[in-house]
Structure 1
Amino acid sequence: MKAMIINSFGSSDVFALADIAKPEIKADHVLVNIEASSINTLDTMIRLMGDKLPFAPQLPAVLGLGFAGTIEAVGKGVTQFSVGDEVYGCAGRVAYLPGTLAKYIVADANLIARKAQNLNMREAAAIRVVGITAYEGLMRANTSKGQNVLVHGGSGALRPVLDELIFSLKEAGQAQERLSSGQGMGKVVINIKPT
């Protein structure tokens, strides 16, 4: 199968297109034909910093965390997914895990979800890692009614996802102000008040 690999750590020119073995299905996993994958800050850190990181992969490596695609095979023990399901997930490259910058991935069935029909594959691939980051940040901050949420770098990919999470929380109530455009804002303060 085709994959973008790195044979050394460094600048973006270390990527090379290569033919590698197609992964084999295993229990509790699904084989996904990847139609879109995303590159995240962690991928850039791994590529640049390499073995200085405790979770760096052995080389050659396929990077990539987020993906979206169609299930081609289902492993023993997987009952929640079927061949042909469109899914997305965060199942790639950290330490021993294979990356998503490839045609196929064998993903843990617990790390994927069905793709919403209103999302295309590229949107679905991009949302998972950002979504996890936004959700974890919001939950770890232990936000509650009446608190302010400050989003640094509000023009980045995290802000719109964080906005949606904040507004969807039943405890959060309604925001006093919601800014529709993230370009050039830098910081956005959303004041959460009970409804």
Structure 2
Amino acid sequence: MRAAQITSFGAPDVLRITETERPSPGAGEVLVSVEASSINGHDTIIRSGGVKMVSGRTFPIGTGLDFAGVVVTTGPDVESYRAGDRVWGMVHPRKRHTVAGAAEYVVVPVGRISPAPAGVSAIEATSLVVTGSTALIALRDRVRLAEGERVLVRGAAGGVGTAAVQLAQAMGGHVTALARDRHAADLHDLGADKVLDYGTTAAEKTGPFDVILDTVGSELHRYRSRLAKGGRMVTVGLSAAALAAIAASSIHGSRRIRTFSANPDSAALDELADHVTAGALRPVVHRVYPLADIVTAHEAFERGGVLGKHVLAVSC
């Protein structure tokens, strides 16, 4: 089978499409024929060598955090799925994988998949797995968004941002999206009540907000100052500067900056699918690439500046 793998740490050109043996599911696992995967920040960090404690230093390393596809066969004791079931899910973000989501087949535990939402293609579904679950967990669990609260989504045009705008609106928030001005009409269409151009709007000119969801990871202290009394802030855009700001916020003042790594289980994916089925969350796909063009897809992801997700068509 074909699989995208990292052959050394570095720029996107260290990625290769290789021929490798198709894996077999063990107890509590399923084998999925992957139709689509997508590019996420986790993939580029692993590829660049940014988290060697997770990835290890032995090559090749599999890439592709998420996937959507069809169950081919199940391991012993699996009764909840059968061959032919359409599923979506993600590999464990904190474990090393020789083969991951960007491959023709992947083996995963049943606790890491869920029935794919009806009415969307595999391309569309996989664009929502990581982004949607990250936004859902951030808003529902980390900041506990309440109806009527004022929400700022920073980096609103990205994958997590477009999902967060929609989910915050569905939860009853009053949503302000901060993004490039050229994306304003699309973000209003996704549910943003107000869109600010990040190129011309200083942090000090925004807010106050009850909740800030940041996907950028810079200038966190400036945006933290725009929180109302009792306000909460969460960031998924980690950097050295972001980690310093998070640490400082836990010492000075009550408005602490939170962070986390999304690691959804089947229940979270089920809830995400409910939002999709209800029409509260829809996919935003910028461009689809064949698996063979994964280097180009990584390059495009790192350039940024687009609306939505870069998705890999694997076998669909």
Kept in 2: contact 1:71–1:86 (CA 8 A): yes
In structure 2, the partner of 1:84 is: 84
SS at match of 1:21: coil
Q: Tell which deviates more after alignment, 56-65 or 158-167.
A: 158-167
Kept in 2: contact 1:3–1:101 (CA 8 A): yes
Cα gap change, 1:184/1:40 in structure 2, threshold over 3 Å: closer, same or farther?
farther
Q: Deviations over 1:25-49 (max 9, x none)?
A: 1111110000111111011011112
Kept in 1: contact 2:36–2:123 (CA 8 A): yes
Q: How far does residue 96 in structure 1 lie from its aligned partner after superposition?
A: 2.4
TM-score by length of 1: 0.84
- Which amino acid is the alignment partner of residue 76 of structure 2? K
SS at match of 1:84: coil
Query: d(CA) in 2 for partners of 1:100 and 1:166?
Result: 28
SS at match of 2:88: strand
Query: d(CA) in 2 for partners of 1:62 and 1:184?
Result: 38
In structure 1, the partner of 2:153 is: 151
Equivalenced residues, count: 188
Cα gap change, 1:176/1:42 in structure 2, threshold over 3 Å: closer, same or farther?
closer
Query: d(CA) in 2 for partners of 1:146 and 1:69?
Result: 37
Question: Percent identity, aligned pairs only?
Answer: 29
In structure 2, the partner of 1:54 is: 53
Cα gap change, 1:74/1:124 in structure 2, threshold over 3 Å: closer, same or farther?
same
SS at match of 2:132: helix
Kept in 1: contact 2:61–2:96 (CA 8 A): no
TM-score by length of 2: 0.54
1:71 is aligned to 2:71: yes
1:179 is aligned to 2:188: yes
- Which amino acid is the alignment partner of residue 124 of structure 2? E
- Which amino acid is the alignment partner of residue 107 of structure 2? V
Query: d(CA) in 2 for partners of 1:176 and 1:136?
Result: 17
In structure 2, the partner of 1:129 is: 130
- Which amino acid is the alignment partner of residue 127 of structure 2? A
In structure 2, the partner of 1:95 is: 95
